[in-house]
Structure 1
Amino acid sequence: MILIADSGATKTDWRLLHQDGTVEQAKTIGFNPYFISADEMVRHMREHLMPHLSGPPQTVFYYGSGCAAPEKNAQVKGAIATLMPDAEIHVQNDVVAAARALCGHEPGIACILGTGANSCYYDGKDVGAQLPNLGFWLGDEGSGGYLGKRLLTDFMQLELPADLHEKFLKRFPGTNRDALLQRLYSEPMPSSHAASFAKFLFDNLSHPYVYQLVYDAFGLFFQKYVEKYDRAKEVPVHFVGSIAFYYANVLRQVANDRGLTLRNILETPIAGLTLYHQGEI
C-alpha cells in the first residue's frame, strides 16, 4: 500500500492506495514544520490519522509546505517514521506536489496560486528551475494574500469606488486602521487574514474596479513567476490553488492575452498526486 499526504498551512489530505485500486481517505490539520513540533505532529497523527488506516503502508509520499529546508524535511520524516517505522518515506515540498499533480510526467510550468504564490519549471521528472518567492510582504503577486492586501489598502486610503466602499463597510463593519495594523503586523499568519478578504472581490467580480484589480494582479503573477522561464511560451502552464480555481475565467483570459497556453487548473493537488502514484503500486 502507498500512503500519500498533501499538507498545507491549515489541513492535510491523506490517501491510502491499495493494490486492488481502492482508495481510503483521511483529513488532519496541516503540519508545517515551522509552526508545529515533531512531537505535536506524532501526537496528532496517532489520534487522528492512524485509526483511519486499514493497515500499515509500505511507502509514504509526503508533500508539505515548509519542507524545502533539509532540517525541516528531516523533522517531518522523523515524525512519520515514529508511527510507520517499516515504511519507505519520501518527503517533498509543495512545489514538487504541484508539479507532479499538474504535469504528471510531461514538461510544463506548475504554479501555486492560493493564499500565497509560487511556480517552477518541471521537465517531466524533476523541478528544473524555480524563481524566488519573497512571501506576503515582498511578493506573492496574484495570490489571495496579495488581492486582500490591495483591497484593504484601497479601502483605507479611500480609493475604492463609493458603491464598493459602502458594500465593504456593510460586509466588514468596524474595520479601522488600528485594528487592521494590529492584526497584520502583530499576530500570526497575516497572509491568511489578508486572503480572507479575497472572497469579497470574488463576490463583486462583475464590478469594473474589481475585475481590473484581479486582472492586473494575475498579469503581475505571469510577469514575475512564469514569463521569466526560458520555455514559458513553449510548454503548457498549469495552476493549483483556491484563487486559481475560483478565478479561473479571469486567469485564462490573462494567460491568453499574454500568449501563454494555460491548461490544467486544480483546487488541490491530492487527486493529481493520487493519479501520479497509482502506477507505482
Structure 2
Amino acid sequence: MKIDFNRLIERGERVLLADGGSTKMEWLELCDRKVIWRHEEPGVNPLTMGMQPLKDTFKRVLTLMPEAPVAVGYYGAGCTPKVCNELEKVIQQCFGCRGECGSDLLLAARLLCPHGEGLVCILGTGSNSGLFADGELKQRIPSLGYLLGDEGGAGYIGKHIVADCLRGIADEAAMRRWHELGLTEQDVLNNVYGESVKPAAWLGKISQLMSDCYAESEYLRNLVRKCLNDFFTRLVLHYNLSDNTPIYFAGTPARHFADKLRQIGESYGLNIAEIVAKPFDKIF
C-alpha cells in the first residue's frame, strides 16, 4: 500500500517510520515536520529470521512510543514484495492503522534523491543498489545476500578477514588484533553456521572490531579497497547509467570509507554525489 507520508506530515498527522537493517532498526515518529520520538531496536531480517521477531518488535514499539500514529512505514533488509505484503497486514494488526512496507533501498531513494535520476547504494551489514527516477525504481541488480553477494558490506569484509586470519595469511598487525579478540575456529563456525544466529551481522561486527588496526595493517587497507571495488565492478558498473548520473551511498560502512568510495568512483569516471551514514540523517 503506497502512502503519501509527506502529505500526512504537512497536515500535522503523526507518522511512524522505521529503517530496519540486519544489525539495528531505527524508528522515528514525526509530526509537523519535526521528529518527536526516536528509538532503536536490534535489527531483524525477515528472510533469515522469520516474521515473529518483527511482530514482537512492533508490539514493543507500540508500548514505548508517546502516541499512536495514523500510518506506519517500515523499510528494511529482507523486505521482498512477498514479505512486504505480509508485513503490511501485520502493521495494521499491531498498530491499528495503515502500513507501507518496502526495501531499505526505497527509503534511501526517497530521502536521498526524491527528484530526477540517481543510483542509490546501501553499504551496511550487507549491500544493495538500485537506479531510481523521481523516487521510482527503474533498474535493480540483485544483492543476493551474504552467501552469494553483499559485496562491499561489512559482513562481506568481515567474511574475508575471518577466513584469512584463521588461515594465518593476514599481515602481522591484523593477526595481532585477531588474536586479541580470542576467537577460535570453533567460535567462528558456531557464529556463522550455528542455529539461531545472525551470521551476516556477526561478520560485520568482526569487521568493526578489526577496524582499530586499519591504519597499521596494509593487508586490511588493501582488503577493504578490494571489497569496495567488488561492489563497483559487480554491481555499479553494470547499470545503464547516463553521463554524470549522481550516485548516492547510505550506511555506516559507506560513511566510514567515504574517501575510498570517492577515490574508486573517480577512477571509473563516476559521479559520487553524496554519502550519509543513515538515510534518516536527511530528515534533520
Task: Name the TM-score, length of structure 2 as normaliser.
Answer: 0.84
Report deviation, 1:147.
0.8
Q: Is the 8 A contact 1:42 1:82 kept in 2?
A: no
Shift of 1:200: 4.0
Equivalent of 1:138 in 116, 140, 148: 148
How high is the TM-score relative to the length of structure 1?
Answer: 0.85
Question: Of 71, 76, 86, which residue of structure 2 is paired with 1:59?
Answer: 71
Task: Deviation per CA, 1:113-163: give whole Å up to 9, x if none.
Answer: 111011101112301111022221221121111111111121122211223
Out of 25, 45, 49, which is 2:37 matched to? 25
CA–CA separation in structure 1 for the residues paired with 2:166 and 2:46: 35
Whole-angstrom CA distance in 1 between matches of 2:201 and 2:64: 30
Matches within 5 A, 1:237-252: 237-252=247-262
Deviations 1:196-230, CA, capped at 9 Å, x for gaps: 12124422222322211111111111111211111
Q: Show the counterpart of 1:75.
A: 86
Q: What does 1:46-125 align with in structure 2 at a 5 Å threshold?
A: 46-54=59-67, 56-70=68-82, 72-85=83-96, 87-125=97-135
Select the residue among 243, 259, 262 that pairs with 2:269. 259
- Give 5+ residue unaligned stretches, structure 2: 1-12
> 1:162: which partner in 2?
172
Give the superposition deviation at 1:43: 4.8
**1:5-32, CA deviations, whole angstroms, 9 ceiling, x for partnerless residues?**
222234332222223x332123253454
Percent of counterpart pairs with the same letter? Answer: 28
1:270 matched residue in structure 2? 280
Query: Would you say the 8 A contact 1:13–1:25 is kept in 2?
Result: no
Structure 1: runs of 5 or more not aligned: 276-281
- CA distance in structure 1 between the aligned counterparts of 2:184 and 2:56, rounded to whole angstroms: 40
Give, in angstroms, the shift of residue 37 of structure 1: 3.5
In 2, Cα distance between equivalents of 1:108 and 1:18: 28
Report the CA distance shift for 1:59/1:255 in structure 2 as closer, same or farther (over 3 A). Answer: same
**1:5–1:61 contact (8 Å) kept in structure 2:** yes
SS for the counterpart of 2:237 is coil
Native 8 Å contact 1:144 1:243 kept in 2: yes
Decide whether aligned partners of structure 1 residues 149 and 33 sit closer, same or farther in structure 2, where only a CA change above 3 A counts.
closer
**Larger RCO: Structure 1 or Structure 2 (Cα < 8 Å, ≥ 6 residues apart)?**
1
Over 6 Å off, 4+ runs? none
Residue 177 of structure 2 contacts residue 210 of structure 2 at CA under 8 Å; is this kept in 1? no
Matched residue count: 267
Q: Which residue of 1 aligns with 2:136?
A: 126
